[in-house]
């Protein structure tokens, strides 16, 4: 259970760091690059350095693709957290679990049932209810609605790729190495992207950016490490582990968003969050 709590707290911590960085007007992209450098170093410390056979593994091409997508989606999560809020972004990211579920139904020929279809439709409905806010759209533009929706589909697409890679290419002992290499590829891509970015880094912000990046890298790594260890502990079925993790992350995100950041939610948004929690519980028992 301790690993599940670790995963929930660190998952919320990712969005809290993004929110604070936005309020302090720090360069989010540089924070994300430092984050992936930190996460990859932690991964290699815990899982060991890669061997030559790892670079020839069947999952390496997928690791490159997913690693590139990781940094792009992470940047979108940062923007969404800063513009749409922690609560809305958390629901969009966590409810994206229905996309790999849908992928599994068709690609791996898993049995389709009325309950699974109902769960998917409930998830889509809850995301719409949580993200739609007429007042925010008027004040901050259509991105407030579009960003969480883009995150919902893109995060779900990445999870589907990861599920495919795990099912087809990865043995259990390769999971931590796969994750570490993913972080490394994201870090390398971030450094490459940085070479083409305009703008001068303000010296007075440098220390804050480095600290924020290191903190983000630590919580990012342990959010992944926590879920891996929770799954390997076999205390609960995997569906229950993901259900508790997603529900706990949404609930804690909403509490923090309301208490510490005074985020405003419409009645429709609140109803969507409640529906998302119920949907997570529902999906966990399918």
Tens digit of each residue's pLDDT (9 = 90 or more) over 121-135: 998 899 889 988 766
31 contacts: CB under 8 Å, gap ≥ 6: 17, 21, 78, 209, 212, 213, 216
What pTM value is reported for the model? Answer: 0.88
Q: Which domain holds residue 96?
A: 2-284
Mean of the pLDDT values across residues 148-158? 93
Angle (CA) 131-212-63 rounded to 5° is 70
Instruction: Pull the structure tokens for residue 54.
Output: 């790892």
What does the pLDDT look like over 67-117, one tens digit per residue? 999 999 999 999 999 988 999 999 999 898 888 888 888 887 877 888 888
Total structural domains in the chain? 1
**Maximum CA pair distance of the chain?**
58
What does the pLDDT look like over 204-236, one tens digit per residue? 789 999 999 999 999 999 998 888 788 777 666
Burial of 193 (0-12, 13-18, 19+ CB in 10 A): middle
The number of residues making up the chain comes to 286
Could you give phi then psi for residue 93, rounded to 5 degrees? Answer: -70, -45
Checking if the pLDDT of 41 tops 70, the result is yes
155's enclosing H/E stretch is helix 143-168
Question: What b-and-e string marks burial along 208-222, b requiring 16 or more CB atoms within 10 Å of the CB?
Answer: bbeebbbbbbbbbbb
Could you give phi then psi for residue 167, rounded to 5 degrees? Answer: -70, -35
């Amino acid at each position: 259970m301790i690993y599940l709590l670790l995963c929930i707290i660190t998952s919320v911590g990712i969005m809290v760091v993004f929110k604070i960085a936005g309020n302090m007007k720090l360069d989010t992209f540089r924070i994300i690059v430092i984050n992936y450098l930190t996460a990859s170093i932690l991964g290699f410390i815990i899982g060991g350095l890669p061997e030559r056979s790892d670079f020839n593994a069947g999952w390496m091409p997928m690791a490159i693709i997913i690693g590139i997508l990781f940094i792009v989606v992470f940047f979108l999560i940062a923007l969404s957290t800063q513009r749409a809020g922690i609560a809305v972004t958390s629901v969009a990211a966590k409810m994206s679990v229905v996309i790999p579920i849908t992928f599994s139904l068709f690609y791996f020929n898993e049995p389709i049932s009325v309950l699974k279809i109902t769960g998917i439709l409930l998830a889509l409905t809850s995301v719409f209810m949580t993200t739609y806010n007429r007042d925010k759209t008027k004040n901050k533009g259509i991105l407030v609605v579009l960003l969480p929706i883009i995150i919902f589909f893109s995060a779900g697409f990445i999870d589907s790729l990861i599920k495919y890679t795990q099912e087809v290419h990865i043995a259990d002992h390769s999971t931590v190495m796969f994750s570490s290499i993913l972080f490394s590829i994201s870090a390398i891509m971030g450094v490459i992207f940085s070479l083409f970015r305009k703008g001068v880094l303000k010296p007075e912000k440098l220390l804050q950016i480095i600290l924020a990046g290191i903190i983000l890298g630590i919580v990012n790594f342990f959010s992944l490490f926590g879920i891996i260890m929770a799954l390997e502990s076999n205390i609960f079925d995997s569906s229950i582990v993901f259900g508790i993790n997603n529900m706990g992350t949404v609930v804690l995100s909403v509490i923090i968003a309301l208490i510490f950041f005074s985020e405003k939610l419409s009645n429709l948004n609140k109803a969507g969050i409640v529906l998302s929690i119920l949907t997570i519980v529902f999906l966990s028992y399918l």
